[in-house]
Amino acid sequence: MRWLFSCMLLALLGAVQALSSSGQRLLVILEDEAEREKYSVLLEDLSSRGFHTTVQSPKADKLSLFKHGARAYDHVILLPAKSKGLGPALTANQFLDFMNNEGNVIVALSSDHATPSSVQSLLLELDIHVPSDKGALVVDHFNYDSTSAADKHDVLLLPFPKAIRPDVKNYFAGEGLIAVPRAVGQTLGNESPLILPVLRAPSTAYSYNPKDEADVVEDPFATGEQLNIVSSLQAHNSARLTVVGSAELLQNKWFAEKATINGQAVKTANRDFVQKVTAWTFKETGVLKIGKLLHYNNERVSKKLNTSVAIPEHNPKIYRIKEDVAFQIEVSEYEIDHLAPFLPVENDALQLEFSMLSPFHRLNLTPLSQTANATIFGVSFRTPDQHGIFNFRINFRRPFLTNLDEKRQVTVRHFAHDEWPRSWQISGAWVWIGGIWVTVVAWVGFVALWLYSAPTTNSVKKTQ
């Protein structure tokens, strides 16, 4: 028995080690084995967080993102390669298939190498645009590291990004400055809500190609905050892709390098930033999970959500129109290695829709209480005065958070014949009820009269 117990304990430990919420098989695509040393700290950090790393060259024979039709890896880091083509195993379609199967991808670009054509068409497909010419990089004459790039101003020192909107949680906040050496800037299409900037260039930055003859910038790829150093995409299936404009940002050299900005000596905080970017992309942060969902008729007694998984959801299938209904739902957020109670940021709200084709109710859910790893949200409302097939629907889509779309179908019936108010309760009906009773009594009186009335004398006279 003891060995069995220790085996189980080991298995449990293994489960604790597996940190990402979507698997730990990580493929790092690196062309030059000699370059591996440059990324050793990043790779060590990842394996200490529970990822099983495989480093492969894009030219390796057996390299494939799929095995037997299923994903062979959960996450991919694509580091820049010298060759323009990445081979048949890493085409844009392969990457898109990989993401359609909920795989996560980090693409690192470098201005030293041309962006591989498969990566270019992948990013184009996603409406992320990178300069097409090799060597284009982002410079800023204001926020550069004067230790390493005193003349060329191509090593930017940027603060950690702020939240992109006041109602969006910032998963990339931190202290210090991030060194961004020789970055390839990206611009994002405006149409899609799925692509998001992670780290923007400062407003005075611009992208240019040092190989251009002109000694003045002409027709830059993009300027200012429209340039992104790190940008991301979260697909409808919550697969994530992050484009890191500067592969050097991920290298050991810049993880804690001494730098100077405007005469001030600083230490770069790339390690922290890279940890946050990889944690978000590989779904260690910003992952939501729905627990128990409860709805019930609130007319008589109110129930409390029983969070035990042992008890299945036991929700009514049918409600009546104009009935008081209460709704409760548990939502958790994955934080690095555990589920924690989820709370939306201040200006944001989790919303419940009670809908038939279109929502009849859309209500903000308020947090009622918390369990060890979930927040219980709830709201009470009255079913609309329209019968039909309705849905309780939680459709929670927010930047940087995985999509939640959960619905429970219920029937809303109209009043049964014996649920209406009785006629004597309706004051307008009293006249008619009175009429009926007058008729009843008059009829009984008429019958009695017809049966028992004796002829009167004057009527006898008349007949005579």
Partner 1 sequence: MRFFRSLVPSLLVSSAAIVSAASSWSFEDAAVTVSSKGAGVGAGAKDKLSATSPLSKSVSLGATDTLKLQLTAVDGKKATRPHQAFLTLTDPATGVEESFLLNVKESGKGSLNLAHKDLPHQFLTSSKPLPASIVIGSFGSSTAYKAKVFDLNVARDPDAPLAVPEKPLRYAAEKEIHHIFRDDPRSPPKFITLIFTAAVAAALPGLFIVWATLGANANHLSKALGNAPISHAIFFGSILALEGIFFLYYTTWNLFQTLPAATVVGLVAFISGSRALSEVQERRLAGLR
Q: 99 or 401: whose CB is closer to partner 1?
A: 401
Q: Examine residue 388 and tell whether it contacts partner 1 (CB under 8 A).
A: no
The answer to whether 390 and 399 have CB atoms below 8 angstroms apart is no
Dist CA 219 CA 293 (whole Å): 55
Q: 87 or 384: whose CB is closer to partner 1?
A: 384
Q: 70 or 460: whose CB is closer to partner 1?
A: 460
- Choose, by CB under 8 A, the member of 142, 258, 306, 366 that binds partner 1: 142
Q: How many beta carbons lie within 10 A of that of residue 33, not counting itself?
A: 9
Q: Examine residue 12 and tell whether it contacts partner 1 (CB under 8 A).
A: no
Give residues 220-249 in contact with partner 1 (rule: CB under 8 A).
Answer: 220, 223-226
- Choose, by CB under 8 A, the member of 5, 62, 454, 464 that binds partner 1: 454
Number of H helices, E strands in the chain: 7, 27
Residue 262: left if φ>0, alpha if ψ -120 to 50, beta else—which one? left
Dist CA 273 CA 281 (whole Å): 12
Q: 58 or 161: whose CB is closer to partner 1?
A: 161
Phi and psi, residue 446, nearest 5°: -65, -40
Q: 8 or 441: whose CB is closer to partner 1?
A: 441
Location of structure tokens 């991030």:
178
Give residues 396-435 in contact with partner 1 (rule: CB under 8 A).
Answer: 397-399, 426-431, 434-435
Give residues 296-325 in contact with partner 1 (rule: CB under 8 A).
Answer: 322
- Distance, CA of 269 to chain centre: 27
Q: How many beta carbons lie within 10 A of that of residue 447, not counting itself?
A: 10
Q: Examine residue 442 and tell whether it contacts partner 1 (CB under 8 A).
A: yes
Q: Examine residue 361 and tell whether it contacts partner 1 (CB under 8 A).
A: yes
Taking the CA atoms of the chain, what radius of gyration do you get in angstroms? 35
Q: 15 or 431: whose CB is closer to partner 1?
A: 431
- Choose, by CB under 8 A, the member of 310, 357, 416, 451 that binds partner 1: 451
Q: Examine residue 111 and tell whether it contacts partner 1 (CB under 8 A).
A: no
- Choose, by CB under 8 A, the member of 85, 88, 388, 445 that binds partner 1: 445
89-97, 242-250, 329-337, 392-400 -> range binding partner 1 (CB under 8 A): 392-400
- Choose, by CB under 8 A, the member of 33, 61, 175, 191 that binds partner 1: 191
Q: Examine residue 459 and tell whether it contacts partner 1 (CB under 8 A).
A: yes
Q: Examine residue 363 and tell whether it contacts partner 1 (CB under 8 A).
A: yes
The answer to whether 75 and 50 have CB atoms below 8 angstroms apart is no
Q: 102 or 127: whose CB is closer to partner 1?
A: 127
The answer to whether 433 and 423 have CB atoms below 8 angstroms apart is yes
Dist CA 26 CA 54 (whole Å): 6
223 contact partners, CB below 8 Å, separation of at least 6: 205, 206, 207
Q: How many residues bind to partner 1 according to rule CB under 8 A?
A: 76
Work out how close the CB of 3 gets to partner 1 at its nearest, in angstroms, rounded to a whole number. 51
Dist CA 192 CA 277 (whole Å): 21
Q: What are residue 137's DSSP bridge partners?
A: 208
Q: 85 or 189: whose CB is closer to partner 1?
A: 189
Binding mask 199-218 for partner 1 (x = CB under 8 A): ----xx-x-x-xxxx-xxxx
